[in-house]
Amino acid sequence: MTALRDREAVEAEERERLARYAVASAESRGRVVAEPPHRLRTAFQRDRDRVVHSRAFRRLEYKTQVFVRHEGDHYRNRLTHTLEGSQIARTIARALRLNEELAEAIVLAHDLGHTPFGHAGERVLAELMRGHGGFDHNRQSLRVVDLLEERYPGFRGLNLCSETREGILKHGVHWEHPVPLPPASEQPCLEAQVADLADEIAYVNHDVDDGLRSGLLSAEALARIPLWTELREATRRRIGEAGEGVLRARTIGALIDRLVGDLVETSARRLEAAAPADVAAVRSRAEPLLGYSGPLDRERRRLKRFLHDELYLHPHVVEATQASVPLLRELFEAYHKDPAWLPAHVRTRFAVDGEARAIADYIAGMTDRFAHSERARVRGEA
Ligand code: MG
């Protein structure tokens, strides 16, 4: 064994370590613009690094997940959500002998297309773009990595591998996209399925945590969820005397552990039973192969419904993000009326993407705080 572990060595290890239905880095369907391989990093390590070094990734820090930023420094934003999700994805991928770096790259990129001000912001843009091709955050994430990041001389975007883009894209495409799309299939590769499930485990857990900490979710209301109560009681017995903060943190830890544990065990059994020969066999299945056991799946749905009703529709959360609706509309109209407000790189894209799309791309990329300062500027207040 040589001291240096280069890309070829890592690819050889993958052939030993990964399941036959995993996506091996050396067998990627490749990039839209062919590039020579890297001496040290595999194709998916490179994708992950390109995402982390992108400007859109850094902006995630100042984008609302559920709680708007001025409410406190300890609530999740899109960046910390993304990082928690990516680590959960790595655990699941590793436990199922799938490609960790691919699952990680997909999760790191999955929210790049989110607008400022969470889902309220997305709804405004969708409304403003009606008649101009619409707006959706998954599609926007693909636009970011395929078109909007400008970091290379030979192509627009990050030129990510087909499998990474397949995972970002999620549910097929019913709209125009100027870069050739990954081939359509019934299901995405298993690493994309992992990314989707890890995203959900991350947000369900941190939203319970942030919801309790903020006081918007009450412990009494959450006690209606049997899974939560069971884990909280088991945690209390296990750790003994502890403060409320520690008990909550350990219960959240137990919940993540329960979801991940059930998911990998159930999925491993399904993979053994279905025994897909390769990635193509995974993609052609009518149903996703990864998933939870029946009982936990019901509990998981119940908890998600609870969060939807009690937290996402909480008047305080709705009000805080609804404040952004007139703000984004005003910006869109100001740019449309007088494109001189826009930076030159956006105006030059009018000819390529159309005016409405170029403006929507620009607004979607904004952080919450930049959107506020832009409104002050177009009003002549700044
Ligand atoms: Mg997410």
Q: Which of 196, 204, 202, 203 is nearest to 306 (CA)?
A: 204
Q: Is the pLDDT of residue 165 over 70?
A: yes
Q: What is the pLDDT of residues 264-309, one digit of tens each?
A: 999 999 999 999 999 999 999 999 999 999 999 999 999 999 999 9
Residue holding tokens 């909007």?
A: 148
Cα of 93 from ligand 1 centre, angstroms: 17
Distance CA 99, CA 342 (A): 41
Rounded to whole angstroms, the Cα distance separating 288 from 359 reads 36
Q: What span, in angstroms and rounded, lies between the C-alpha atoms of 71 and 73?
A: 7
64: confidence class by pLDDT, cuts 50, 70, 90: confident
Cα torsion at 236, 240, 241, 243 (round to 10°)? Answer: -40
Q: Separation of 203 CA from ligand 1 center, angstroms? A: 7
Dmax (CA) of the chain: 66
Tokens of 209: 């945590």
What's the confidence (pLDDT) of residue 336? Answer: 96
pLDDT of residue 382: 75
Q: What is the pLDDT of residues 326-352, one digit of tens each?
A: 999 999 999 999 999 999 999 999 999
User: What are the pLDDT digits (tens) for 107-124?
Assistant: 999 999 999 998 899 999
Taking the centre of ligand 1 as the mean of its atom positions, its distance from the CA of residue 199, in whole angstroms, is 5
- At residue 173, the pLDDT reads 64
Structure tokens at 63: 């984008």
Question: Is residue 171's pLDDT more than 80?
Answer: no
The whole-angstrom separation of Cα 270 and Cα 101 is 23
Q: What's the token pair of residue 116?
A: 């400022």
Q: Calculate how far, in angstroms, residue 213's C-alpha sits from the geometric centre of ligand 1.
A: 20
What's the pLDDT at 110?
A: 95
Please give the pLDDT value at position 326.
93
What distance in angstroms lies between residue 68's CA and the mean position of ligand 1's atoms? 16
Across 175-186, average pLDDT: 89
Q: Which residues pair with 12 in a beta bridge?
A: none
Q: Check residues 42 and 324 and name the one with the higher pLDDT.
A: 42
Bigger pLDDT: 184 or 278? 278
The residues, any chain, with a CB within 8 Å of residue 109's CB and separated by 6 or more, are: 47, 51, 141, 144, 145, 160, 164, 167, 168
Strand-pairing partners, residue 77, are 64
Q: Which residue has the higher pLDDT, 66 or 374?
A: 374
Q: Compute, in angstroms, the gap from residue 200 CA to the centroid of ligand 1.
A: 7
**What are the C-alpha distances in Å from 37 to residues 6, 42, 292?**
11, 8, 37
- Where do the H-state alpha helices sit in the chain? 7-17, 43-52, 55-59, 78-95, 100-110, 118-128, 137-143, 162-169, 190-214, 219-222, 226-239, 244-274, 279-283, 294-307, 315-322, 324-337, 344-347, 350-353, 355-365, 368-378
pLDDT at 321: 83
Q: Which residues surround ligand 1, an ion (CB under 5 A)?
A: 111, 199
Q: Is the dihedral of CA 209, 213, 216, 218 positive or negative?
A: positive
What's phi and psi for 120, nearest 5 deg?
Answer: -65, -40
Give distance in angstroms: CA of 195 to centre of ligand 1: 9
Domains of the chain (ranges, CATH numbers)? 14-319 (1.10.3210.10)
- What is the 66 CA–ligand 1 centroid distance (Å)? 11
d(CA 150, CA 187): 30
Helix (H) / strand (E) containing 176: none
Q: Are 160 and 109 contacting, i.e. CB atoms less than 8 angstroms apart?
A: yes
Residue 237 has pLDDT above 90, yes or no: yes
Cα(81) to ligand 1 centroid in Å equals: 7
Tell me the average pLDDT of the chain. Answer: 94
Average pLDDT over residues 13-24: 97
CA of 270 to the centre of ligand 1 (A): 26
**Each residue's pLDDT tens digit, 71-117:** 778 889 999 999 999 999 999 999 999 999 999 999 999 999 999 99
pLDDT at 172: 62
pLDDT of residue 107: 98
